[in-house]
A and B are shown apart, each in its own frame.
Chain A
Amino acid sequence: MECTISTMGCNASADYSKHKYNETAIKATVLIQRWYRCKRAQLEVRRRYSLTIFESIEYADEQEQTQLSNFFTFMLEHRVHRGEVAHTSSGSHVSPDADSYVIEYEKIDVPDSYRGPRLSFPLNIAHAKALLNALKNRQLLHPRYVLQLLHETRRLLKEKPNITHVSVSYFKEITICGDLHGNLDDLLLVFHKNGLPSEINPYVFNGDFVDRGKNSMEILIILFVFLLIYPNDFHLNRGNHEDYILNMKYGFTKEVLKKYKVHGMTILYHLRDIFSWLPLATLVNNKVLIVHGGISDTTDLDSLNLLERNKLKTLMKLPKLETDRKNQVKIQGIPLGYPELSQWSSHPELTEEERKQVLDILWSDPKKQHGCNLNRRRGAGCCFGPDTTEQLLKKYNLKMLIRSHEFKLNGYDLTHDGKVITIFSASNYYEEGSNRGAYIRMNPDLVPRFVQYQVCTSTGKRKNWERVKTIEQSALQTLQERIFVHKQKLMDTFAKYDCNNTGRISVSDWAAVMESVLQLKLPWRTLKSRLVKTDPDGNVDYMSCFYYMDTARPMHQVQPTLVETLCKYRKDLQVIFNIIDEDESGLISPDEFRKTWKIFSSYLGIHSHDEAIDKLAQSIDYNKDGYIDFSEFLEAFHVVRKLENKAA
Chain B
Amino acid sequence: MMGRAGICKDGVIAEIEKKITEAFEVFDRDGNENVDVREIGSIVRSLGCFPTEAELHELLAKVEEEEPTGYVHLEKFLPVMTKILLDRSYRPIPEDVLLHAFEALDEKKSGYITKEELVKHMTEEGEPFTEEEMEEMLSSALDPETNAVHYRDYISMMIVDETDDLPQ
B97: interface (CB < 8 Å): yes
Please report the C-alpha to C-alpha distance between residue A531 and residue B164 in the assembled complex, in whole angstroms.
11
Instruction: Give Cα A548 to B165, complex, Å.
Output: 12
Bound CA span A90–B166, Å: 62
B5-A539 in contact (CB<8A): yes
Q: Check if B22 sits within 8 Å of A525, measured CB to CB.
A: yes
In the complex, A531→B168 CA distance in Å?
A: 11
Cα separation A251 to B93 with both chains bound (whole Å): 47
Q: Complex Cα distance A52/B46, Å?
A: 15
A236 interfacial by beta-carbon distance below 8 Å:
no
Q: Encode contact with A along B90-126: 1 for CB under 8 Å, 0 otherwise.
A: 0011000110111011010000000000000110011
A497–B139 CB distance below 8 A: no
CB contact list, B31-56 vs A, under 8 A: 32, 41-43, 45-46, 49-53
Q: Which residue of A lies closest to B163 (CB)?
A: A529
Asked if A530 contacts B32 (CB within 8 A), the reply is: no
Do A35 and B98 contact each other (CB < 8 Å), given the known contacts A508-B15, A525-B22, A530-B166? yes
B23 / chain A contacts, CB cutoff of 8 Å: 45, 523, 526
Q: Give the CA-CA distance A496 to B137 in the complex, in Å.
A: 48
Roughly how many angstroms separate A35 CA and B4 CA in the complex, as a whole number? 35
Segment 486-516 of A: residues with Cβ below 8 Å from B: 496-500, 505-511
Asked if B93 and A34 make an inter-chain contact with CB atoms under 8 angstroms apart, the answer reads yes
**B2 interface contact, C-beta 8 A:** yes
Q: Which residues of A contact B5 (CB under 8 A)?
A: 506-508, 537-539
Find out whether the CB atom of A38 lies under 8 angstroms from the CB atom of B126: no
Stretch at the interface among A126-134, A436-444, A460-468: A460-468
**B125 pairs with A31, CB closer than 8 A:** no
Of all chain B residues, the one with the shortest Cβ separation from A463 is: B140
Task: Using known A-B contacts A28-B105, A31-B101, A525-B18, determine if residue A41 contacts B42 with beta carbons closer than 8 Å.
Answer: yes
Query: What secondary structure prevails in chain B residues at the interface with A?
Result: helix
Which of B3, B125, B137, B164 has a CB less than 8 Å from the CB of A508? Answer: B3
Report the count of interface residues on B (CB-CB < 8 A): 55
Are A49 and B125 interface neighbours, CB within 8 A? no
Tell whether, in the assembled complex, residue B22 and residue A526 are in contact, meaning their CB atoms are under 8 Å apart. Answer: yes
CB distance from B137 to the nearest CB of A (A): 6
Could you say which residues of chain A place their CB within 8 Å of the CB of B3? 497-498, 505-506, 508-510, 539
> In chain B, what residue has the closest Cβ to A528?
B165
Cβ-defined partner of B122 (8 Å) among A29, A41, A367, A511? A29
> Known contacts being A508-B14, A532-B166, A548-B166, is A28 close to B161, with CB within 8 Å?
no
Instruction: For B18, give its contact among A21, A500, A508, A539 (CB under 8 Å).
Output: A508
- Pick 30 A–B contacts, CB within 8 A, sort by A: A25-B104, A25-B125, A26-B125, A30-B126, A32-B102, A32-B121, A33-B126, A34-B52, A34-B93, A35-B50, A35-B93, A37-B41, A39-B158, A45-B26, A48-B27, A368-B30, A465-B140, A469-B161, A509-B3, A511-B18, A523-B23, A523-B25, A524-B22, A525-B15, A526-B26, A526-B46, A530-B166, A533-B166, A538-B6, A539-B4
Q: How far is the CB of B42 from chain A (nearest CB, A)?
A: 4
Any B CB within 8 A of the CB of A40: yes
Bound Cα distance from A505 to B1, whole angstroms? 10
> In the complex the two chains form, what is the Cα distance from A49 to B26 in whole Å?
6
Distance, CA A37 to CA B121, complexed state (A): 15
The smallest beta-carbon distance between A454 and chain B, in angstroms, is 16
- Say if the beta carbon of B88 comes within 8 Å of chain A: no
A463 with B139: CB separation less than 8 A: yes
Closest to B30 in A: A368
CB under 8 Å from chain B, chain A span 442-482: 461, 463-465, 469, 472
Contact A29 B126 (CB under 8 A): yes
Q: Is B153 an interface residue (CB 8 A)?
A: no
Residue of B nearest to A527 (CB): B22
Find residues 580-617 in chain A having any chain B CB closer than 8 Å to their own CB. none
**B75 in the interface (beta carbon within 8 A):** no
A33 in contact with B129 given A28-B105, A369-B32, A508-B3 (CB within 8 Å): yes
What residues of A have a CB within 8 angstroms of the CB of B97 in the complex?
Answer: 31
Contacts A45-B46, A524-B22 known; A496 to B1 CB distance under 8 Å? yes
Query: In the bound complex, do residue A529 and residue B140 qualify as a contact, i.e. CB atoms below 8 Å apart?
Result: no
At the interface, yes or no: B127 with Cβ under 8 Å from chain A?
Answer: yes
Given contacts A34-B50, A533-B166, 7 further A-B contacts (CB under 8 A): A29-B121, A34-B52, A34-B127, A39-B158, A498-B3, A510-B3, A529-B165
The 6 closest A-B pairs by CB, nearest first: A506-B3, A509-B3, A41-B45, A29-B126, A45-B46, A28-B104
Q: For A506, what are the chain B residues with a Cβ–Cβ distance below 8 Å?
A: 3-5
Contact of B45 with A38 in the complex, beta carbons under 8 Å? yes
When C-beta atoms are compared, the residue in chain A nearest to B125 turns out to be: A29
Contact yes or no, B127 A33, CB < 8 A: yes
Q: Does B19 contact A (CB under 8 A)?
A: yes
Give, as a whole number of angstroms, the nearest-CB distance from A430 to chain B: 15
Of all chain B residues, the one with the shortest Cβ separation from A476 is B164
A461 to B105, alpha carbons, bound, how many Å? 28
Q: How far is the CA of A41 from the CA of B14 in the complex (A)?
A: 25
Q: Would you list which residues of chain A between 527 and 580 have a CB under 8 Å from chain B?
A: 529-534, 537-539, 544, 548
Knowing A508-B5, A523-B22, A526-B46 touch, does A34 contact B51 (C-beta < 8 A)? yes
How distant is B91 from chain A, measured CB to nearest CB, in Å? 11
